[in-house]
Structure 1
Amino acid sequence: MSAGDSPDPGSRADRAASFELGAAQYASTRPSYPDAAVDWLLPTGARRVLDLAAGTGKLTERLVARGLDVVAVEPSDAMRERLAQTVPGAHALAGSAESVPLPDASVDAVLVAQAWHWFSPAAQPEIARVLRPGGRLGIVWNVRDNAVDWVGRFTEIIHRGDTLERSYREPVLDAGLFTAPEHRTVPWADRVATSSLRPLAASRSYFLTLPPERREELLGEIDDLVATHPALAGRDAVDLPYLAECWRADALPAAPGAP
């Protein structure tokens, strides 16, 4: 691709790579995760936890706050550098879901926040490898509650023209590696400045890979929504409702004779 070309907004590879450019926006606008969701995902007695595809550390900081020994693995240099600055209590490492730089059976839990949809099938055996016997895999997405009118309109704008499948979906786990996943939904709300809704939209991989003219067109619609919707107009801050969609499963014992 030449320097003047825009990435294909339908390309998964370009979309995943786009976070290298959007780390600052991601860190400043994306929500954290509710305590009730994190508590449900973690196994009882967990001490060492891997935050896999940790991004800028939104979940990592919640784990460190619990006094856990946290390793955060993230492939994007820009996002990992931001994580190391904002969550110095975690051990940040370069790596990916398909190549985790940790020894076998070295963590009690592997948590994946807002990233499972980027993983290839090779990630599951690698996750099982680093989990201790009976260790926990926990997966969570923050999903906007589109039943709220302005949130539904916001979501429609930021997905308009997006050809990739939406990220949130029930994870399909290898039955030879993990127990059947349990599911829980945790409703919560993030108090945000209305002025942050534009950069929140701009932090999405779809927007990061759009041609500048189209990106500005859609961001202009976000501005119009903020200026005119009765729930937003004239307000400095608003509750942005989310559903934290959580799944958890435990690693199965290795079969006799397995490597």
Structure 2
Amino acid sequence: MTSTSQPAFPQAALEWLAPVAADGRPVPTPRVLLLGRSVAPLATALDRRGANLVACDGSRAGVRALLNRAPRALPTVARPEHLPFAPMSFDAVHVHQSLHALSEGALASIARVLAPDGHLAVSYTVRDDSVPWVRRLTALLRDVDPAAMKGAYGTESVERLVASPHYAEVAERSHRLWVPISRVDLLGMVAKRFPDLEQERLSRLMSDVGELYATSARVPEPLLLPYRVVCWRAVVDHTEFTSQLEPPEDGVRIRL
């Protein structure tokens, strides 16, 4: 179960994921690849930070979703396993909520287009179920469906990134994010989660959730739905590409 509104992406997380030069200072005009339509929530902020952006997705619809947030980005339709860019083109490649969907070939393809000391910026927004009122909500929903609020986000796929020979160092940092949610929105989320539940049982559940809200919120303030934005910065290792960094002469070259 997720919020009806898209949580914002914390500024502190963007700053931590930003490319840095060898001296540790931020790259003034970084070359950044937005990989996949799920990166859209980050696109506007990255555009405002002055990055040279390329919006890439495997479909035109996905690219359009990225351009809606960052209209100045260079649009490119391509699969992550076959990125049509010259080697070492980007200071950073952003992947949000979708690392688990990338193959080993995609991780290698991303490493090829990263500049020396560049990094793959991975992020996931996950619900923080440690907050007491969220634990109470979880218990109510699992009384109806034991699989409710299991929180399978895909973050375990970072293990493949750590094990990949194409990345030398993987650092991690988490950022807290609180999203206000009204009583009406919380009840709407529960109703949406159980569209086929028998009416009497749904009414009891909605009553219990409403009582939970009333006893947990500090009126007139809304409840705050807790999230963590978990970020990983994987520095590229080009050792495996020492003899393979030039694309074929008949390939498509895109230089930024």
Same fold? TM cut 0.5: yes
1:92-131 equivalences under 5 Å are 92-131=75-114
Range with greater deviation from structure 2 (118-127 or 169-178): 169-178
Q: Deviations over 1:100-134 (max 9, x none)?
A: 34332211101111111122222110111111122
**Distance verdict in 2 for CA 1:59–1:86, change over 3 Å:** closer
2:18 matches 1:42: yes
Q: Does the 8 A contact of 2:55 with 2:67 survive in 1? A: no
2:249 corresponds to which residue?
none
**Distance verdict in 2 for CA 1:195–1:64, change over 3 Å:** farther
Of the three residues 157, 161, 167, the one matched with 1:178 is 167
Q: Deviations over 1:129-169 (max 9, x none)?
A: 11112211111111211111233355674995379954222
Q: Does the 8 A contact of 2:176 with 2:228 survive in 1? A: yes
Q: Deviations over 1:40-99 (max 9, x none)?
A: 112211611112123271011221121111222233554543333343233343333323
Q: Which residue identity does 1:171 align to in structure 2?
A: V
Aligned Cα RMSD in Å?
Answer: 3.8
1:17-36 equivalences under 5 Å are 29-36=5-12
1:134-149 equivalences under 5 Å are 134-149=117-132
Q: Does the 8 A contact of 1:70 with 1:91 survive in 2? A: yes
DSSP 3-state at the match of 1:227: helix
Q: Does the 8 A contact of 1:53 with 1:96 survive in 2? A: no
2:228 corresponds to which residue?
243
Of the three residues 223, 244, 256, the one matched with 1:258 is 244
**Distance verdict in 2 for CA 1:68–1:146, change over 3 Å:** same
DSSP 3-state at the match of 2:45: helix
Q: Deviations over 1:176-204 (max 9, x none)?
A: 2111311112223233445445677899x
Count residues in correspondence: 227
C-alpha separation in 1, matches of 2:111 and 2:17: 16
Q: Give structure 2 stretches of 5+ with no counterpart.
A: 21-26, 246-256
Q: Does the 8 A contact of 2:183 with 2:210 survive in 1? A: no
**Distance verdict in 2 for CA 1:124–1:56, change over 3 Å:** closer
2:155 matches 1:168: yes
Q: How big is the shift at 1:242?
A: 1.6
Q: Which residue identity does 2:225 align to in structure 1?
A: L
DSSP 3-state at the match of 2:80: coil
C-alpha separation in 1, matches of 2:40 and 2:101: 17
C-alpha separation in 1, matches of 2:71 and 2:203: 37
C-alpha separation in 2, matches of 1:197 and 1:30: 14
Larger CA Rg, structure 1 vs 2: 2
1:39-78 equivalences under 5 Å are 39-44=15-20, 45=27, 47-55=30-38, 57-75=40-58, 77-78=60-61
Give the TM-score normalised by structure 1: 0.69
Range with greater deviation from structure 2 (67-76 or 32-41): 67-76
DSSP 3-state at the match of 1:213: coil
DSSP 3-state at the match of 1:258: coil
Q: Which residue identity does 1:37 align to in structure 2?
A: A
